[in-house]
């Protein structure tokens, strides 16, 4: 099974079984965000976690093996049209240079890792309208001179 096929199977079974990403992640013993990313084909799971996800979805070794495959991270569109995803492009377009400037000012010349990284997505109830709280936490990687 290819990663693209795996994604479609997982999404279909998740819906059919009425599962949440949190329930699937709990079974895998991983964060909701990372588990979801792996199930969508953008990361991989180790065997024990992949087996747990396959089990909760009622699938076997073929799905587990696909979850364990290392992904090729590509995007089909240069700028996606889905409104939620597009807004992230908008955020980076408007605030990307600001983020870079402040990281460089506080840490020096370098980048935030997207490998040594965690992400948490939470809901904050607010009388004026609920808020989406996204926390990105990445290790600082300084550029080196040689």
Best CATH choice for the domain 3-68 from the list 3.60.15.10, 1.10.260.40, 2.130.10.10, 3.40.50.1000: 1.10.260.40
Q: Residue 41: phi, psi to the nearest 5?
A: 95, 10
Q: Do domains 3-68 and 83-142 have the same CATH topology?
A: no
pLDDT of residue 136: 96
Q: What are phi and psi of 21, to 5 degrees?
A: -60, -35
Active site residues: 87, 90, 113
pLDDT of the residue at 75:
73
Contact assessment for residue 63 and residue 56, using Cβ atoms and an 8 Å cutoff: no
Q: Which CATH class is domain 83-142?
A: alpha beta
- pLDDT tens, position by position, for the chain (146 residues)? 999 899 999 999 999 999 999 999 999 999 999 999 999 999 999 999 999 999 999 999 999 999 999 998 877 778 788 999 999 999 998 889 889 999 999 999 999 999 999 999 999 999 999 999 999 999 999 998 78
CA distances from residue 62 to 51, 68, 132 in whole angstroms, order as listed = 10, 10, 35
Best CA proximity match to 80, nearest among 71, 67, 89, 92: 89
Question: Where do the structural domains in the chain lie, given as residue ranges?
Answer: 3-68, 83-142
Query: Whole-prediction pTM value?
Result: 0.81
């Amino acid at each position: 099974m290819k990663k693209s096929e795996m994604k479609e199977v997982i999404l279909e079974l998740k819906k059919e079984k009425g599962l949440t990403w949190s329930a699937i992640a709990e079974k895998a013993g991983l964060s909701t965000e990372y588990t979801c990313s792996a199930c969508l084909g953008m990361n991989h799971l180790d065997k024990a976690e992949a087996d747990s996800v396959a089990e909760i979805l009622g699938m076997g070794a073929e799905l587990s093996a696909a979850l364990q495959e290392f992904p090729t991270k590509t995007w089909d569109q240069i700028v996606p049209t889905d409104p939620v995803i597009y807004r992230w492009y908008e955020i980076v377009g408007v605030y990307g240079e600001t983020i870079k400037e402040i990281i460089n000012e506080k840490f020096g010349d370098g980048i935030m890792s997207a490998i040594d990284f965690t992400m948490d997505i939470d809901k904050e109830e607010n009388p004026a309208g609920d808020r989406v709280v996204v926390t990105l936490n990445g290790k600082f990687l300084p550029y080196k001179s040689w």
